[in-house]
Chains A and B, each alone.
Chain A
């Protein structure tokens, strides 16, 4: 049972106080998108053994959604950050690389919005 620190209220909440929300940093595709784009948005989710970016809501608390960068195998938490963050922050990336020096982000954090479908982030 995980403990994650809510970046909005600073509380280390345990899993029973949280609501899981699946993979983070998905880009929404709406009307006008191709079938392939929409399918990837709606259904294609990564399930890595290792670094994963997730959405959690501090449900029994401040009610805010936040992101957690977590290792699904070791349960290490590299950090949590606010939901209004288009990409994992440089601090998060550094924390991941501290543990996994070979890990490289494959998103372009200088871009104002996510530029690609969920495939943008892989270990």
Chain B
């Protein structure tokens, strides 16, 4: 039997911080506190093991090592203390998966209506995977996918199903 289209693994060591603010006003302060450039619309900026994703015109998601979360949270809250802003630790409410392999895009193309092939290299796309909300961005060798923790089993199962050996999307 052929190999799976991609390797699916759940990531447990990432922390996440949700930031809601007027980005035009507070963007610089956020970028400085997060240690990353402010992403453009629909993009995610990455430096080392931290990424800052554009979630909506007034929402960012900082993804970082779990161990750094508490401190980053405090730094951000401090930096935005005088702004009308909301900074929350959302590490526990998400499930994150890595889809690694040459055919990772085939796996996602079976589940997501978004045109991920056309997504820029530094793009972040919020969409759905089958019936569950998710966010997707590229990582070296594949993709990262985040969803809600309550449906982690569902996400794992549909990703594994879509990656079943012998089911690549090339014409037969």
Contact = CB atoms under 8 A, between A and B. Distances in A.
Chain B CB within 10 A, most for which of A9, A17, A60, A64 = A60
Tell me what chain B mostly uses at the interface: helix, strand, loop, or mixed. strand
Contact of A64 (B54, B56, B133): B56
Contacts of A9: 41-42, 54, 56-57, 126
A16 interface: yes
Nearest to B42: A9
Interface string A27-49: 00000000000000000000000
A63 interface: yes
B141 interface: no
Q: How large is the interface on B (under 10, 10 to 19, 20 to 34, 35 or more residues)?
A: 10 to 19
A62 B42 CA distance: 10
Nearest to B134: A60
B133 A11 contact: no
Interface string B110-130: 000110000000000111100
A64 B126 CA distance: 12
Nearest to A8: B57
B130 to A, nearest CB: 10
A14 interface: yes
A16 B133 CA distance: 11
Interface of A: 8-11, 13-14, 16-17, 60-64
